[in-house]
Chain A
Amino acid sequence: MSGPSFHYIEATRLDDALAQGARHGATYVAGGTDFLQLWKTGLAAPKTVIDICRLPLAEISYAGDTLSLGALSRLSDVAAHPDVKIHHPLIADAILASASGQLRNMATLGGNLLQRTRCPYFRSAGLACNKRAPGSGCGARDGENRHAALFGTSSGCVATHASDLAVALAALDAEIVVASAAGERRLRLPDLYLLPAPTTAPDSSLADGDVITAISIHDACRFAPRSTYLKIRDRASFEFAVVSVAAALQIEDGVITAARLAAGGVAPLPWRLHGSEAALVGRAPGKAAFAAAGDLAIEGATPLAKNAFKIPLLRSAVIRALQTIGGVS
């Protein structure tokens, strides 16, 4: 299917985009890969599309241990960039585990972070879904919910966020730079997302017209030698995560001095595992420490009828990721 047609405006300057984007019925499009899926299934029907893909926001720079990624950079360019590969291989790993070669050539960083959930009820126009139609109910909660979240859910929505990149960025404490007509602001990555309320579940905290201009990561290249993105899926490639874990460790003199862990496929936003991180710091890498981190990772998980397997899976995934980078099994 196709949706109703729209007016097309190509933005060449950020201030133009911001002015246009705040208008009623307008939406931004960057790579267009999520937007067009939504439009074709009747889930997005803007009056005007403001194409921001040619805004000069695709630069990648690294200076003084701050990596700055222009939000309109394409995923494949980011994954192939030497500064990313050398200083933040976790980002490259997460990107290369995403979608397909073709889609990575099209998709932008900003668009990837703002893609909507893959919950099949959300993506089927007629079904009950609070995220799509507030107050209509949640088809997934008592329906097919193998894909659903373990953490951060509400009675009204149990969807997960699908981005792999966001999980890696959450682990690296990335900041999102947002421009609006009122000026520029910075958000911690998790604050880009909202937890669901009882009958509504908007995904992002951005206001209409806000543009993500960049993502920046400070003081994290110390994790470069020990980081991994572990993505578990039913087939070997080209599938959204069933569960994923971004893990990074810093080990000095046989002791873990810093740990970062975030999980994907288990929550409405990339889920930082602070408890697990705390349990690792100050300990020697090894079986006991990793098992403790695994146990803490699943604390508070609330399963539904068909996704309980994600609990042991998440635990195992955390342990496996730590084994991979911890230098010991």
Chain B
Amino acid sequence: MNAHSHARYEALLKVTGQARFEGEIAPAGLLHATLIEAPIACGELVSVDAVEAPTRPGFATLVTHDDSASLKSSAATTLIRETAIHFHGQPVALVAASTLAEAHDAARAVRIATAARPAVTQMDQALGAAIAPEMVGRFPAATRRGDVATALGEAELVIRNRYSTQVNNHHPMEPHVVVCWWEGPKAVVHTSTQAIFATRATIAQAFDMPPRNIRVLARFLGGGFGCKGQLWWPWMFWAMLASRKTGRPVRLELSRAQMFTLVGRRQQTEQDLALGFANGRLTAITHDVVAQTSAHTDYSDSTAVYSRLLYACPNVSTTHRLVRTNEPQPVPMRAPGTAPGTFALESAMDEAAERLGLDPLDLRVKNFADHDQETGRPWSSNSLLSCYRVGAERFGWADRQKRKKRDGRWTIGFGMATTLYPAIRQACRARVRLNGDASLVVQCGTQDMGSGTYTALGQIAADALGIPMAKVTVELGDTWLPDGPFSGGSQVTASIFPAVQSATAQLRAMLASMAASDANGPLGGKTSDDLDFEGELIRSRSSNAAERLSDVLARTAPDGLVAEGESAATDHPKLAATGMGHGAVFVEIGVDSALGEIRVRRVCAAFAAGRILNPLLARSQYVGGLIGGIGMALHEQTLTDRATGCILGKSFADYLIPVHADMPEFDIAMIEEDDPHLPGSVKGIGMLGSAGIQAAIASAVHDAIGKRIRHLPIRIEDCLGPACDTAQR
């Protein structure tokens, strides 16, 4: 497979405003819906008084828990079947009306009565009641290898600290939306979801109907980052119930404020981490995580999991515990686990390097893990050492101390850190149709959140059949297409690759035999392994003979050919090798210590994540991830009011994410890897940028002003202080 920086497949539609996002479907008779929210953080919904609402102009229907009684009970229906209130802003009813303004008017006329119980609104109120989950994702929550206590006792240096990270929200620029209607027993659901097939399966279960009667569409998605998944389902169900009650299509879109409460968050963590060293080598790691989860569902990131395997270390103990609070539910968000986990581990490595008198880079190299120490397996491929070397060279790490430490008002600091993310595949299918005119249609029921799935699918198929991208049509985001992977965990490209390859391999075989079987044709009698596909031709490798694809098709299959391919999911227990992508991030920051302001000036990152299909789009993914990481490091924090449990400042004026003016210079190096264990050597890339950089920034702050900040976000108040009040000097 060849790397090629094709322009983004759907770019033209997006720059002209012609890309139709699912919320922009406007069927005749569309009703608009809005959610009514509970004003308490914990308690019970007592009554919904809707005497007034139906008198309002445009009112169409009210949907409450009573209506949800018709739904089957499941995790996805708990919040709408049970009247318990678990967090402030939890929806208690939905109102639909002819226009959105009328829906809001009618909603204001609905009286809600609730009975409040004392709420746990912040994690520190219930630390004592923390529970220990069994699993964190697919990993055991607690692990122990070797003898940590002895190793720490004997270590020459022990670094022991607490690190904390705050709640973040995903905030894709497009809020969650559904436009849905019923056609007799069938449901059509246009919605912004990262997983159309999982959405279809949950609808089927809740509404007790066969999946084939449900069509879910998500052809364009205005971002997702982990939040366009299961937490949206209950409210989507209410919209579907409203549609069923009224017999009209219904549209429900969340407000930006609801994006803080209803669709998930990155959980808050308190992480106790200890590292023991002897001779500059890690001898012990303990990483104990306490994190927030909601009062109704336990969720844990795999925060300490990466401390088990990033470095060579014989004695490792990790635990995860959860504190249930009356706050919104956490879900995975951009580099789940690795972002908070590497913040702690990599910050501690930087402290260790300082104490050991080693360069932070050298300490990492020295502790490189040449195999996966948790499972004992080899790496499927691992180019982390190359990432360190290439990144350091391009950044100028070695001679950083010779550079000037001041630039005007800015005190300069440098930092680096490691990032990693597992390479995983999901089972899926893809269909490739070659039309009679040698144009190609590639179909897969997956989604493109902006990560380049359209382009990747098209490129893989086009490349295999020697057809230019201009003649490729890609269709995705529709459950009428073959089952595709959900968009998450950087898994889509790796998952669809084998499926598309298998489909195109079948087509190649058919075409080759068609070409070879025509004795009078230019390729008559050639064997299929002599034939190659290139430039819309089938070409003999051994001679100059070639035939146009369209001629072969016209002759033997004027209606074209179709093939379907399948990929199998990663079978973790049976793996011969652990698949992991890696990266090394180097940052230069400036701190104005008198004013506490921090700006990232330069980021150089080297990533190794298998083979890169499209360097242009891969770079966008990496840079986007890094920018998300900068937000987590310096800006983002969701605040809960302790007294009421209400999320505060539910707007972009309060929840700060990086803007153009915050942008540093980016230099991205992509280190290609051949990976004999992974189909096409494809690993995921999306998550790599979003981890590591937080610790690199924290280390750079220390380098600049000598202060260790062990919590995120790092803000003005953290960098101010008598010691940095240069204005006084």
Residues of B within 8 A of A320 (CB): 409, 594-595, 727
Contacting residue for B595 out of A2, A144, A232, A240, CB 8 A: A232
Contact A4 B108 (CB under 8 A): yes
Selected from B105, B659, B716, B722, the residue in CB contact (under 8 A) with A238 is B659
Pick from B105, B594, B643: contact of A4, CB below 8 A: B105
Cα–Cα, bound, A238→B661 (Å):
9
A313 touching B596 by the CB < 8 A rule? Answer: yes
| Chain B residue contacts of A7, Cβ below 8 A | none
A37 CB to nearest B CB, Å: 8
The answer to whether A316 touches B39, judged by C-beta atoms less than 8 angstroms apart, is no
Q: Mark A291-312, 1 if CB is under 8 A from B, else 0.
A: 1001000000000000001001
A interface secondary structure, majority: loop
B-side interface size class: 35 or more
- On whether the beta carbons of B641 and A143 are closer than 8 Å, the reply is yes
The reply to whether B728 and A143 form a contact with Cβ atoms under 8 Å apart is no
- Please state if A124 and B650 are interface contacts (CB–CB under 8 Å): yes
The residue from B100, B409, B653, B661 contacting A240, defined by CB atoms under 8 A apart: B653
Known A-B contacts A127-B644, A320-B594; A234 and B634 likewise in contact (beta carbons under 8 Å): yes
A1 to B721, CA, bound (A): 42
Let me know if B720 is at the binding interface, CB within 8 A.
yes
Given A294-B727, A312-B725, A320-B595, A121-B39 contact (CB < 8 Å): no
Point out the residue from B105, B257, B635 that lies within 8 Å of A235, measured CB to CB. B635
Within B244-290, the residues touching A (CB, 8 Å) are 255, 257
CA–CA, A316 and B596, complex, Å? 10
Determine the distance from Cα of A294 to Cα of B648 in the docked complex, in whole angstroms: 33
Q: Known contacts being A235-B658, A294-B727, is A316 close to B720, with CB within 8 Å?
A: yes
* Closest-CB distance, B166 to chain A (whole angstroms): 12
A293: min CB distance to chain B, Å = 11
Shortest Cβ gap from A320 to chain B (Å): 6
Given contacts A232-B597, A309-B717, A312-B720, are A237 and B653 in contact (CB under 8 A)? no
For A, the interface residue count at a CB cutoff of 8 angstroms equals 40
Q: Which residues of B contact A235 (CB under 8 A)?
A: 634-635, 656, 658-659, 661-662
**A56 interface contact, C-beta 8 A:** no
Q: Which of B108, B649, B720 contacts A120 (CB 8 A)?
A: B649
B594 is contacted by which of A5, A128, A146, A316 (Cβ under 8 Å)? Answer: A316
Q: For window 616-672 of chain B, which residues contact chain A by CB distance below 8 Å?
A: 634-635, 639, 641-644, 646, 648-651, 653-654, 656, 658-662
In the complex, whether A236 has a CB less than 8 A from a CB of chain B is yes
Check: A82 CB closer than 8 A to any chain B CB.
Answer: no
In the complex, the answer to whether A123 meets B649 with C-beta atoms within 8 Å is yes
* Contact call B643/A143, Cβ cutoff below 8 A: yes
Residues of B within 8 A of A247 (CB): none
* CB–CB A312/B721 < 8 A: yes
Q: Does A327 contact B (CB under 8 A)?
A: no
Q: Assess whether B656 is in contact with A121, with CB atoms less than 8 Å apart.
A: no
User: What DSSP secondary structure best describes chain B's contact surface?
Assistant: loop
CA distance A319 to B592 in the complex (A): 13
Cα distance, A291 to B726, chains bound together (Å): 11
Report the nearest A residue to B640, measured CB to CB: A144
B34/A237 in contact, CB under 8 A: no
A residues in contact with B257, CB < 8 Å: 1
**What residues of A have a CB within 8 angstroms of the CB of B162 in the complex?**
none
Question: Bound complex: CA of A2 vs CA of B257, how far in Å?
Answer: 13
The complex places the Cα of A284 from the Cα of B649 at a distance, in Å, of: 45
Q: Which of A1, A4, A234, A316 contacts B656 (CB 8 A)?
A: A234
Q: Which residues of B contact A146 (CB under 8 A)?
A: 717
B104-A1 in contact (CB<8A): yes
Q: Nearest chain A CB to B596's CB is how many angstroms away?
A: 6
Which residues from A are CB-within-8-Å of B34? 1
B648: min CB distance to chain A, Å: 4
Tell me the complex Cα distance, A240–B654, Å. 9
Q: Which residues does chain B contribute within 8 Å of A240, judged by CB atoms?
A: 653
Partner of B662, one of A236, A291, A309: A236
User: What sequence of 0s and 1s flags, for each residue 222-266 of chain A, a beta carbon within 8 Å of any chain B beta carbon?
Assistant: 000000000011111111101000000000000000000000000
B657 nearest CB neighbor, chain A only: A235
Pair B639/A319 contact, Cβ less than 8 Å: no
Which of B255, B653, B658, B722 makes the CB contact (< 8 A) with A1? B255
A242 with B716: in contact, given A1-B34, A237-B659, A237-B660 (CB under 8 Å)? Answer: yes
**Which residues of B lie under 8 Å from residue A4 when comparing CB positions?**
105, 108
A3 to B34, CA, bound (A): 13
The residues of A that contact B371 with a CB separation of less than 8 Å are: none
Q: Does residue B599 face the partner (Cβ distance < 8 Å to A)?
A: yes
Q: Which residues of B contact A274 (CB under 8 A)?
A: none
Interface residue? B101 (CB, 8 A): yes
Task: Give the contacting residue for B599; candidates A139, A236, A319, A323; CB below 8 A.
Answer: A236
How long is the Cα–Cα vector from A78 to B662 in the complex, in angstroms? 26
How many angstroms from the CA of A291 to the CA of B729 in the assembled complex? 10
Considering the complex, which residues of chain A in the window 190-236 have a beta carbon less than 8 Å from any beta carbon of chain B?
232-236
CB contact under 8 A between A144 and B646, given known A2-B104, A236-B599, A317-B595: no
Q: Shortest CB–CB separation between residue A191 and chain B, in angstroms? A: 28
B597 to chain A: closest residue by CB: A232
A309/B661 contact (C-beta < 8 A), A120-B654, A144-B648, A319-B727 known: no
A188 interfacial contact with B, CB 8 Å? no
Residues of B near A232 (CB, < 8 A) are 595-597, 716
Distance (whole angstroms) from the CB of B328 to the closest CB of chain A: 15
| Interface flag for A135 (CB, 8 Å) | no
Q: Given the complex, which residues of B lie within 8 Å of A128, measured CB to CB?
A: 643
Given contacts A5-B101, A126-B39, A313-B720, contact A319 B653 (CB under 8 A): no
Q: Which of A139, A319, A323 contacts B643 (CB 8 A)?
A: A139
- In chain A, positions 134-179 with a C-beta closer than 8 Å to chain B are 139, 142-144, 146
Indicate if B508 sits at the interface (CB-CB under 8 A): no
A85 within 8 A of B: no
What's the nearest-Cβ distance from chain A to residue B165, in Å? 17
Which listed residue, B599, B634, B648, B715, touches A121 by the CB 8 Å rule? B648
Q: Cβ of A118 < 8 Å from any Cβ of B?
A: yes
Select from chain B the residue with minimum beta-carbon distance to A137.
B643
Residues of B within 8 A of A236 (CB): 599, 659, 661-662
Asked if B595 and A127 sit within 8 Å, CB to CB, the answer is no
CB distance from A154 to the nearest CB of B (A): 19
Tell me if A309 and B716 are in contact (CB < 8 A): yes
Provide the bound-state CA to CA distance between A73 and B642, in Å: 42
Q: Considering residues B108, B659, B727, which has the most beta carbons from chain A within 10 angstroms of its beta carbon?
A: B727
Docked-complex contact A316 and B725, CB < 8 angstroms: yes
Interface residues of B in 698-729 (CB under 8 A from A): 715-717, 720-722, 725, 727-728
Given contacts A1-B255, A235-B661, is CB(A124)–CB(B646) below 8 Å? Answer: yes
Within 8 A of B (CB), among A78-120: 118, 120
Q: How far is the CB of A4 from chain B (nearest CB, A)?
A: 6
- Residues of A within 8 Å of B722, CB to CB, are 312
Contacts of A143 in B (CB 8 A): 641-643, 648
Which residue of A has the minimal Cβ distance to B39?
A126
Rounded to whole angstroms, the CA-CA distance of A291 and B725 in the bound complex is 11
Task: Provide the residues of chain A in CB contact with B644, threshold 8 Å.
Answer: 126-127, 139
**Chain A residues with CB under 8 A of B104:** 1-3
Q: How far is the CA of A294 from the CA of B659 in the complex (A)?
A: 31
Can you sample 8 A-B contacts with CB below 8 Å? Answer: A126-B644, A127-B644, A237-B662, A238-B661, A239-B656, A309-B720, A313-B595, A320-B409
7 smallest CB-CB distances across A and B, nearest first, come from A309-B717, A237-B661, A236-B661, A120-B649, A120-B648, A319-B727, A316-B594
**Given contacts A238-B661, A313-B717, could you give 8 more A-B pairs where the C-beta distance is less than 8 Å?**
A126-B644, A127-B644, A234-B634, A235-B635, A236-B661, A240-B653, A320-B594, A320-B595
Q: Which B residues form the contact surface with A (CB < 8 A)? A: 34, 39, 100-101, 104-105, 108, 255, 257, 409, 594-597, 599, 634-635, 639, 641-644, 646, 648-651, 653-654, 656, 658-662, 715-717, 720-722, 725, 727-728
Which A residues have a C-beta under 8 Å from some C-beta of B?
1-5, 118, 120-121, 123-124, 126-128, 139, 142-144, 146, 232-240, 242, 290-291, 294, 309, 312-313, 315-317, 319-320, 323
